[in-house]
Amino acid sequence: MAKHEQTQQADLPAHGANVLPSVIVDSYNVEIEDEDGFIGDKASKGAFWEFVEKWRKPLKEIGEDPFGDKPGEKLGKKKLAELLASGDPEAASLVQSAIEDFAQQLALVIRRFMRLKAWRDTETIFVGGGFRASRVGELAVARTELLLRAEEIDMDLELIHNDPDEAGLLGAAHLLPAWMLKGHDGILAIDIGGTNFRAGVIELNLKKSSELAKAKIVKSDLWRHGDDDPDRETATKRLIEMLEDLIEWGRKNEMELAPVVGIGCPGVINNDGSIERGSQNLPGNWESSRFNLPQLIRERITRIGDGETMVVMHNDAVVQGLSELPYIEDRKHWGILTIGTGLGNARFTHRSTPKAASKS
């Protein structure tokens, strides 16, 4: 993460802030390179499908590929899970081999992260992203943890608690100090990805849990921009229309929305809301000095309810990681890896003493 002048207090939300209401963001969007390029590419969804193709090759040569002529990615992770559970032994062993190769690479990537100063003393790494939302992904993560345990690496590897699609929205509520949420039923959140844009309404349920443990997504909209290949102007126009529809839904359902939009977006986020780097998978040039998404949203949606619109944006892996806050009060240092088009990453330190530790 690039060093920027950022607030050292969490009294007001700031784009890409390193100090948030509950945590310090020690590191995010780290790009580690070796002789083959970025090591995160070795643990992405694309890398997994490359392993599938690797194990198909010898079977293709003898005309016994269990998948026929269909490209691996067209099969989908659900189909692979079915083959693993009840397919013929040859097909199941192919999937199992790809999972093993991927787990070996993910373990390698994690070892490299743990050598970084900002990642030292990490007690738990959560795994999110689209790959986590499949049985194949779950097995790969479980196998990775066993590999790390065999090497006596003292760290837990866990799946994020919420569905990744919802986690990418829910974490946005944790970008804001508690006093900004009081008196409101919900807030708007956006999760910007290389394939999808997702926008939703988070019902805060603060009366049930002041720590947002009962927050939930009550309305959401998804646009697969990867299918349409839009330019930046078309993409942002559609995103704003999604927000306007959600605001109207909230009004009709008598939901008091806070005048805030929380955004998770790929890349390094500057404190003015511009993107320094890392948004290459988004439609058009989002790193242009003439483009600022938070400012654009404020210009197009000037008010939400009775208040002037505020927009706060952070890296998408940071936001997804923040969704774990209600579940990890007993750990001081923890991180997240999001396995998708690329490998997102963030490392956090709790600002307050974890509850379990305070009892000792």
**Angle formed by the axes of helices 89-114 and 45-61, nearest 10°:** 140
Higher pLDDT, 330 or 12: 330
CA distance 48 to 46: 5
Closest CA to 331 of 202, 83, 197, 156: 156
Question: For all residues of the chain together, what is the average pLDDT?
Answer: 90
Question: Is 359's pLDDT higher than 50?
Answer: no
The SS3 of residue 20 is: coil
Cβ neighbors of 270 (< 8 A, separation 6 or more) are 2, 4, 15, 16, 276
pLDDT, residue 352, reads 80
CA distance 351 to 249: 36
Report whether 260 contacts 176 (CB < 8 A).
yes
- Measured in whole angstroms, how far is the alpha carbon of residue 27 from the centre of its chain? 14
Closest CA to 129 of 77, 161, 164, 170: 164
Top mean-pLDDT range of 186-190, 211-215, 328-332: 186-190
Terminal-to-terminal C-alpha distance of the chain: 35
Instruction: Quote the radius of gyration of the chain (alpha carbons, Å).
Output: 21
All structural domains of the chain? 33-159 (no CATH), 164-320 (3.30.420.40)
Main-chain dihedrals φ then ψ at residue 276, nearest 5 degrees: -80, -45
Burial of 218 (0-12, 13-18, 19+ CB in 10 A): middle
| pTM, entire model | 0.90
Tens digits of residue pLDDT in 239-295: 999 999 999 999 999 999 999 999 999 999 999 999 999 898 899 999 998 999 999
How many CB atoms are located within 10 Å of the residue 285 CB? Answer: 14
pLDDT, residue 281, reads 86
Question: Is 97's pLDDT higher than 70?
Answer: yes
Maximum pairwise Cα distance, the chain: 69
CA distance 25 to 155: 19
Tens digits of residue pLDDT in 36-80: 778 888 888 889 999 999 999 988 888 888 887 777 777 778 888
Tens digits of residue pLDDT in 136-179: 999 999 999 999 999 999 899 999 999 999 999 999 999 999 89
pLDDT, residue 76, reads 79
Main-chain dihedrals φ then ψ at residue 335, nearest 5 degrees: -140, 175
Percent of the chain residues topping a pLDDT of 70: 94
Going by their DSSP bridges, the two strands 23-28 and 303-304 should be labelled as unpaired
Q: Which DSSP string corresponds to 96-162?
A: HHHHHHHHHHHHHHHHHHHTSGGGTT--EEEEESGGGSSHHHHHHHHHHHHHHHHTT---EEEE-SS
Report whether 93 contacts 101 (CB < 8 A).
no
CA distance 31 to 39: 8
Mean pLDDT of 308-330: 94
Tens digits of residue pLDDT in 11-21: 678 999 999 99
Tens digits of residue pLDDT in 197-218: 999 999 999 999 988 999 999 9
Residue type, 101: D
pLDDT, residue 3, reads 41
DSSP label of 24: E
The residue written with tokens 């693993």 in the block is 84
DSSP label of 195: S
